[in-house]
Amino acid sequence: MAIQLRQALKVGTYIISQRLLGRQRFPLVLMLEPLFRCNLACSGCGKIQHPPEILKRNLTPEECFAAVEECGAPVVSIPGGEPLLHPQIDEIVEGLIQRKKFVYLCTNALLLKKSLYKFKPSPYLTFSVHLDGLQKKHDECVDRPGVFDKAITAIKAAKTGGFRVTTNTTVFKGSDPQEMQDFFDFLETLRTDGMMISPGYSYEWAPDQDHFLKREQTKALFREILSPWKLGKKKWNFNHNPLFLDFLLGEKDYECTPWGSPSYSVLGWQKPCYLLNEGHYKTFKELLEETNWDNYGNKSDNPQCVDCMVHCGYEPTAAVDAIKFANVGRALESLFSA
């Protein structure tokens, strides 16, 4: 099981308490974006498309802590941009750990090895390294040679240093199932603390709009990729709720719960989720109460949502579904990476 027992118990208790309080909408993972700057220009990401005046901005540690307290989610994922570019990222992480939040620092790992001295190993801290395939595939996705090798070196250094490390992979249209299976086999040799996968979704500002998956394409592709795991022939250590993987395979039919993974950045609380560019609220309360949630999700017939099967929207749904059957272990295999 990828999640340590400490986190499983805390998040499971949180979900149950929210349900007992009668709350239908509550966050599980805060996606905290302290900056949009990055040292890569991946074709499937639109964060660096923001104007220069936005790219220069950072959230202060105090702003990060205030957002975390306002939201209340037990898990905090720190994407970007590249969070290791933030001059106070160590202070932010330490402050979140002191608040007993489970932190997943998402990184392309270019700066990870030389930044390790800033952090201390903790059961509350995990480095989530972005890897989209083996060397050739990954370097093509990030449009720079040598990134894969640097990431692998950094992963090994972090593991040697006693840190928790997971990987995060986006599966795009045209991915070769056998290559993905070989990639998963390779990741197992690194002895990381789990790997996460998610279908690519048409992020509005992404330069490349041609390689995102449609819903039926997603199901067919994941059935091919995951067939050895589903049949028990492979023991891949997925950092996921198995019910979410069943959803990707087309064996479960879930509705999106975008409030489960709200996003806070230098622009405020993004509405309704980080994949849609519809503006921002000043407070989390406004996000919850003023968003017309019926306008989003697959059943809404919103063309922007109809093909989305991304983990940030559907893994919270799977978690609550599993909790209904008192299966906390299955519910909490992954509720934390972007």
**Closest of 161, 139, 157, 158 to residue 148, by C-alpha:** 139
* Alpha carbon distances (Å) from 164 to 118, 158, 190: 15, 8, 12
* Alpha carbon distances (Å) from 192 to 141, 143, 238: 22, 25, 10
Question: Taking the CA of residue 237 as centre, how many other CA atoms within 13 Å lie in the half-sphere pointing to its CB?
Answer: 16
Least confident of 156-165, 220-229, 290-299, 329-338: 329-338
The Cα angle at residue 54 between residues 66 and 170, in degrees rounded to 5: 80
If one compares 273 and 153, the residue with the highest pLDDT of the two is 153
Contact 167, 196 (CB under 8 A): yes
Quick one: tokens of 223?
A: 């059935």
Residue-wise pLDDT tens digits, 125-175: 999 999 999 999 999 989 999 999 999 999 999 999 999 999 999 998 889
Residue 277 above 80 pLDDT? yes
**Closest of 130, 128, 186, 195 to residue 158, by C-alpha:** 128
Helix (H) or strand (E) holding 314: helix 311-324
Least confident of 74-88, 123-137, 255-269, 320-334: 320-334
Give me the residue spans of the domains in the chain. Answer: 5-331
3-class DSSP assignment, residue 164: strand
Question: Is 3.20.20.70 the CATH number for 5-331?
Answer: yes
3-class DSSP assignment, residue 303: coil
